[in-house]
Structure 1
Amino acid sequence: MSASAASAATRVVVVMGVAGTGKSTVGELLADALDVPYAEADAFHSPANIAKMSAGTPLDDTDRRPWLDAIGAWAHSREGLGGVVSCSALKRAYRDRLRAAAPGLFFLHLTGDRALIAERMAAREGHFMPTALQDSQFATLEPLQVDEDGAAVSVAGEPAAVVDHALAALGAPARRTPVPRTAPVPTLTTP
């Protein structure tokens, strides 16, 4: 493993973006490429948060605090060891809260236009985040700022291409074994 690949593999990456960008799919593929553990932010939600979102009600900042703290604790436990976690991290304040727990985080912001994201959200089945919350996700989104460690990557291409762009942003070499073109369309996301 090269020095840049070793450095990338010891970072904790937060795969962020609005619902429907494919945070889970890209996060899992990126973790595999870096050979580090992956954590799905949905697993950190309380049953009350899931019920609220399932009912079509957006979470407020009070709902998100314990969720962000749990994700931050996981990221802190992986500092220097590496890991990938999906988390919407839509607001700068949310990313600041995560960084307070794990200062070395790298934010990979998955971006896409509303039509593409709406199409992906409509196609997924069995997820608690209804498409009705898409507008609130875009309204809440505060893109990465220049002083935040991270990169924005478009999800317009295949998941494998998105991961290659993410690896380049991290300074890691591209995957040796390409992901099959039949890789699933990004579907599972977090608020």
Structure 2
Amino acid sequence: MPSEPRSRRKWIRVACISVRPPLSLLLLLPLLASGPVACASHPPPDALAATRDALAGLDEFGALLLGAGLPIEAIPEGRSVSPVQAERLRRHFGILPYLPQHYAPRVVADELLRYVARHGQGVSRWDLSRMVQEYRNLFLLRQDGFIAAALTGEPARWVGPVEVRENGAGAGGFEMGEFYTCADGESWLRASRPSLDSR
């Protein structure tokens, strides 16, 4: 009887010796254990960091282009916009599909880009951002029949289905391509286009 517990101990000892890890694995364990801590102290870069940084650095003109449906990577960098850049952006808008909310900001962006192209030399981003402010209280009729804010494309009121007319297209008393203001939320008046050449 006393020999049986001894034989069990012997087999347990033999089993432990046979599964003893190699020395190289024992040396590797501390390195493996420190891995997650090292990774946590240096997280991988954010996948959208470049886009986030570009959005954080947008001025009023850049935000207008973005609202008009231009991809963030196509927004020009630098302190001014040249006539060549303006024409390139206009061509970009010509081939890009757009949603209804892009229409009004795209009209404003096109006006500013045509101004830069006519100007014959670069126009500073600061001046363009000031010009954007001239449109802040203006509205345009969209193709879906909504009067929308010129800078954001946000719909303010549905006026009816747009139909083709002799001199263009419109709905109710509104014409496509014309600017409107609304002082009291009910009365809409046609507004004159901001004068960009007086700058």
TM range (shorter): under 0.3
Which has the higher Rg, Structure 1 or Structure 2?
Answer: 2
Identify which of structures 1 and 2 has the higher relative contact order when contacts are C-alpha pairs closer than 8 Å and 6+ apart. Answer: 1
TM-score by length of 1: 0.27
**TM-score, normalising length: structure 2:** 0.26
